[in-house]
Structure 1
Amino acid sequence: MPPEKSPPQVLFLPLGMPEPGVSLQRWLYEALRSAILAGRLPAGSKLPSTRALAEYYQLARGTAQAAYQQLLSEGYVVAQTGSGTRVCQVLPDATLDAGYVRRRVEGQVEVPRTPPTTPWIERLDAIDPVFARRQVMPGLRPFFPHRGDTQAFPVDLWRKLHIQQLRASRLSILLDSDPGGLPALRAAIAGYLAIARGVQVPAERILVLNSVQQGLDLCLRLLAPGDSRVWMEDPGYPGARQLIDVSGVQRVDVPVDAFGIQVEEGVRLAPDARLAYVTPSRQAPLGGELSPARRLALLQWAAQHGSYIFEDDYDSEYRFIAKPIPALRSMPAAEQSVILAGTFSKLLFPTIRLAYLVLPEHLLESFTRAAALMSRHANSLAQAVLADFIHEGHFDRHVRRMRKIYASRAEAFAESARRHWQGLIEVPEIRAGLDISCNLQVESEQDAFARLQAAGIDVLPLARYCVKPRPPGLVLGFAPYDERAIEDAAKAVAVALR
């Protein structure tokens, strides 16, 4: 076991101002005692010397010595030769809670506090928090979806690029940067989109952000007034649905089938919607592609009504059956109405927290100003490293390598399912992505989910993605798990469900 860390020495502790009529010795004693009882000075922490404390607060040293002596006599601190003055491990007021040490002013009536209530908080309380909580679940147990294999990322190469950016001649990267993103990274993204996604766009039209969620939030704030209607895929990505709900707009759930969002149904339900959230290259979570006819219909709807399309380019790079499908934004009619959003969190690793929007020219200024107001800019150092990673060809090599690895694991997953899940779970053809939506053939979703959780298997019920009821299903991930882990987990699934 690693050695237990000792509490640090306290070098600076704000103690507030003395109250009128209270002696300095009494004030210092009560302030230190309150800090100890409230936990601001934890057990074992070393206090400053009386000389240092007196100099810092401009007191006589005798005043500090007297306050320490009183704390010592009452059992709050202990003084040892060579070790200084430290907070006792067991306090005489151990039975008292921190409420005792709250600052009291004579004659003041404390108003009881309750959690604030605002429309935004009310909407936040109304959404299902389970999905967001499970996204940050520790560990990596099969078959949790929406995860890539971070173990395969070239960490040593990334570290080398970091070191290069931190040379003395490049330390300006540590200062504030362009709120739209580093020019080098925007140029790198533009080059990548032209090759991989068929999108020809000037680098200046790209806005670098922390996440796709931030990009969708900007769209809701700037393009959809409070009484607007917004299309949302059903089933669809829960994070997008929750953000739409919290924004206060009216969400319109548009059904999805094997050919993507049913545009004609969206037009019937809300022809005047200001924004449509779609995943055309690989629908989340069902995995289908938006058909050519529906792509055209979606663009025609946006052009006729002056609406916008938020294209979440979800898992588009990891396609196993054929070449990646070009982005919706690549179509000539899409330039004025489609906002393309992409992230490097799935392609590289989640904590990189870098994403981008490709914006129509008339939206660029307002979006950049809003992003600067909300978050100033994305991490400049990470942007610089990523720009080098792309320009030097490492990004392309990494994606091509991971595509092969994920394709092999998808095949192993499908084969294990055929061997062990007959009559339990039906796995469709895996064409792309990091996960797959499967049909459940036994029990209910919740029963199956509970059984698998008890067996140490992590999945997500399809109902978590849906508003309207659908046949029972599970969303399972395969990308982070090697063939042995997939086979062992597939057996455990079969045992749990049988």
Structure 2
Amino acid sequence: MPPEKRSSLVVSSLPLGAPAPGVSLQAWLYQSLREAVLGGRLPAGAKLPSTRALADHYTMARGTVQAAYQQLLSEGYLQSRVGSGTHVSEVLPDTTLHAGYVQRKVVPNVEPQRAPPSTPWVERLSAIRPVFGRRAVTPGSRPFFPHRGDVSAFPVDLWRKLHIQQLRSSRLPSLLDSDPSGLPALREAIAGYLAIARGVQVSAERILVLSSVQQGLDLCLRLLVPEGEQVWLEDPAYPGARQLMQVSGCSWVNVPVDEHGLRVEDGMRLAPKARLAYVTPSRQMPLGGEMSPARRLELLRWATQSGAYIVEDDYDSEYRFIAKPIPALRSLPAADSSVILAGTFSKLMFPSIRLAYLVLPPQLVDSFTRALALMARHANSLSQEVMATFIEEGHFDRHVRRMRKLYASRADALAEAAHRHWRGLIDVPPIRAGLDIACRLHVADEAAAYAALLEQGVDALPLSAYCHAPRPPGLVIGFAPYEEKAIFESAQVVRRVLEGLPGR
């Protein structure tokens, strides 16, 4: 997040101590602020108070504060922007000095530091860099970052109105704890939506509301896969799923994907006794294809015969541009006892809504509900109430249809921009659905291309970030949050960068 978007520092929350005898106020203020920066009490990007506010707080002349700020600015510890104030620099002038200072600093009256915990879970966790929080990305600011919708097109005024209605005194019970499996009204609304949009006929009692698909997959791994047992994972695959499997202690098997979806016969050859398979059959993540009917039946047959479960991540399925969305794998009659359907509102609404759901086989409902109650109590009750109303009153259906049309026009814009500017550089396949598209890159060094594009403000992700087995160089390019003008302008930047790479 840019520094100007972070909350301002509250002066009283950073006591600087008293000046030492014989030290000028300017020298004391400069040294105290510098040590606060180096010690981490003033983190990178933190906004400092105005010179007037700081002077009033410490009862000193404003010129004294200005002089101390100016010295810190000149040394690179602070940076100033017109209209946004003074902030701690994102990159300090001497990181070696910073590290040395922190090591030497003595803090009195503090308990001795304890060693960090050491358990198999912690040790496995320390070996990964979570894909979430990689950096804060504002949709629309860094083309062509994938997997994001256009939050600026969301009906915020309507959402605010529904929240206000829910906060009337007669409805205040929604602020209390609720059923760990989810509010009945929302589960009924989800069941109705799934019947119409995904072809899934299921009772509300089989639906579990939670905060994310990631949380749902974590539950599945904890409850269904003993440590060391095998799990099928698509290759390429959603990186968040791979990382969860890595820390869970299961033994995941990378099963290749082709134009027909997960290669079930390869999975049965590599791990015939796997306890679970994680798949994205309606729109493969990240390649974008659909699992063929024959593969779906083959996958269900394997799960039934082996007693395994299938986690169907219904990723990006609703945004299909060429025809009606493909029915979910869970809609097939043979799927009732073996398929766990996972869906989220983060892509359809906005990421921070943090509402998702699992559709569970009947034998798993009780254990999953108990586990969720123990681990997380329940998802946000107020958001659940508002989401239920949003669906019941028809706003959700209208919003999805409107966004599908908007994203289709932007997919067309990307295809046109690629035709004009990327011939011989990037092959963009037909875009049938989703928020992004995996493209073939005609540059030998994918990593060098990604780094060069990133330096020029283009944030498409390398395809290798999703893959286990080597694949030809590629990029996963997002288009949904970007207006057509931005798509065409950024396409020209991409062309200039790639044409300038050595050995293209």
Pick the TM interval, shorter chain: 0.7 to 0.9
Counterpart position of 1:467: 468
Counterpart position of 1:364: 365
- Counterpart AA for 2:232: W
State the alpha-carbon separation in 1 of the partners of residues 433 and 260 from structure 2: 15
- The 3 A distance-change label for structure 1 pair 388 and 79 is same
Give the 4+ runs in structure 1 shifted more than 6 A.
Answer: 1-5, 37-40, 77-80
State the alpha-carbon separation in 2 of the partners of residues 150 and 276 from structure 1: 32
State the alpha-carbon separation in 2 of the partners of residues 212 and 366 from structure 1: 18
- The 3 A distance-change label for structure 1 pair 4 and 433 is closer
Counterpart position of 1:209: 210
Secondary structure of 2:447's match?
helix
Counterpart position of 2:184: 183
1:102 aligns with 2:108: yes
> 1:134: how far off?
3.1
- Counterpart AA for 1:356: Y
Counterpart position of 1:407: 408
Secondary structure of 2:11's match?
coil
> 1:123: how far off?
1.1
- The 3 A distance-change label for structure 1 pair 101 and 470 is closer
> 1:447: how far off?
1.1
- Counterpart AA for 1:174: L
State the alpha-carbon separation in 2 of the partners of residues 122 and 39 from structure 1: 28
- Counterpart AA for 1:134: R
State the alpha-carbon separation in 2 of the partners of residues 170 and 323 from structure 1: 38
Note if contact 1:313-1:342 (Cα within 8 Å) is conserved in structure 2.
yes
- The 3 A distance-change label for structure 1 pair 372 and 446 is same
Note if contact 1:38-1:101 (Cα within 8 Å) is conserved in structure 2.
no
Counterpart position of 2:152: 151
- TM-score, normalised relative to structure 1: 0.80
Matches within 5 A, 1:3-82: 7-8=11-12
State the alpha-carbon separation in 2 of the partners of residues 492 and 278 from structure 1: 35
State the alpha-carbon separation in 2 of the partners of residues 6 and 471 from structure 1: 51
User: What are the ranges of 5 or more consecutive residues in structure 1 without an aligned counterpart?
Assistant: 11-36, 45-76, 81-88, 91-95, 105-109
Counterpart position of 1:231: 232
- Counterpart AA for 1:448: A
State the alpha-carbon separation in 2 of the partners of residues 267 and 221 from structure 1: 23
State the alpha-carbon separation in 2 of the partners of residues 479 and 138 from structure 1: 13
What do the CA deviations read for 1:453-486 (whole angstroms, capped 9, x no partner)?
Answer: 1111001100000001011110000000010000
Secondary structure of 2:137's match?
coil
- TM-score, normalised relative to structure 2: 0.79
What do the CA deviations read for 1:76-101 (whole angstroms, capped 9, x no partner)?
Answer: x9789xxxxxxxx99xxxxx989544
- The 3 A distance-change label for structure 1 pair 4 and 439 is closer
Counterpart position of 2:123: 122
Secondary structure of 2:373's match?
helix
- Counterpart AA for 1:497: L
1:434 aligns with 2:438: no
Counterpart position of 1:483: 484
State the alpha-carbon separation in 2 of the partners of residues 208 and 435 from structure 1: 27
Counterpart position of 1:309: 310
> 1:38: how far off?
11
State the alpha-carbon separation in 1 of the partners of residues 421 and 59 from structure 2: 67
Counterpart position of 2:356: 355
Counterpart position of 2:272: 271
What do the CA deviations read for 1:183-241 (whole angstroms, capped 9, x no partner)?
Answer: 00000000000000000000110000000000000000000000210000000100011
Secondary structure of 1:474's match?
strand
Note if contact 1:215-1:341 (Cα within 8 Å) is conserved in structure 2.
yes
- Counterpart AA for 2:109: R
User: What are the ranges of 5 or more consecutive residues in structure 2 without an aligned counterpart?
Assistant: 15-38, 43-47, 50-56, 61-67, 70-100, 500-504
State the alpha-carbon separation in 2 of the partners of residues 343 and 213 from structure 1: 10
1:247 aligns with 2:254: no
Matches within 5 A, 1:327-338: 327-338=328-339
Matches within 5 A, 1:274-313: 274-313=275-314
Counterpart position of 2:136: 136
State the alpha-carbon separation in 1 of the partners of residues 463 and 188 from structure 2: 39
- Counterpart AA for 1:141: R
- Counterpart AA for 1:116: P
- Counterpart AA for 1:438: C
> 1:443: how far off?
2.9
**Identity fraction in percent:** 67
Aligned residues: 420
State the alpha-carbon separation in 2 of the partners of residues 260 and 144 from structure 1: 24
- The 3 A distance-change label for structure 1 pair 38 and 194 is closer
Note if contact 1:423-1:442 (Cα within 8 Å) is conserved in structure 2.
no
State the alpha-carbon separation in 2 of the partners of residues 479 and 467 from structure 1: 27
Secondary structure of 1:134's match?
coil
Note if contact 1:421-1:494 (Cα within 8 Å) is conserved in structure 2.
yes
State the alpha-carbon separation in 2 of the partners of residues 112 and 9 from structure 1: 24
> 1:117: how far off?
2.4
- Counterpart AA for 2:292: S
> 1:308: how far off?
0.1
State the alpha-carbon separation in 2 of the partners of residues 135 and 39 from structure 1: 21
State the alpha-carbon separation in 2 of the partners of residues 39 and 135 from structure 1: 21
Secondary structure of 2:134's match?
helix
Counterpart position of 1:55: none
Note if contact 1:211-1:354 (Cα within 8 Å) is conserved in structure 2.
yes
State the alpha-carbon separation in 1 of the partners of residues 151 and 465 from structure 2: 25
State the alpha-carbon separation in 1 of the partners of residues 159 and 395 from structure 2: 10
What do the CA deviations read for 1:26-85 (whole angstroms, capped 9, x no partner)?
Answer: xxxxxxxxxxx9979xx99xxxxxxxxxxxxxxxxxxxxxxxxxxxxxxxx9789xxxxx
What do the CA deviations read for 1:163-185 (whole angstroms, capped 9, x no partner)?
Answer: 00000000000000000000000
Secondary structure of 1:340's match?
strand
- The 3 A distance-change label for structure 1 pair 437 and 39 is closer
What do the CA deviations read for 1:380-410 (whole angstroms, capped 9, x no partner)?
Answer: 0000000000000000000000000000000
Secondary structure of 1:132's match?
coil
Secondary structure of 1:493's match?
helix
- The 3 A distance-change label for structure 1 pair 304 and 161 is same
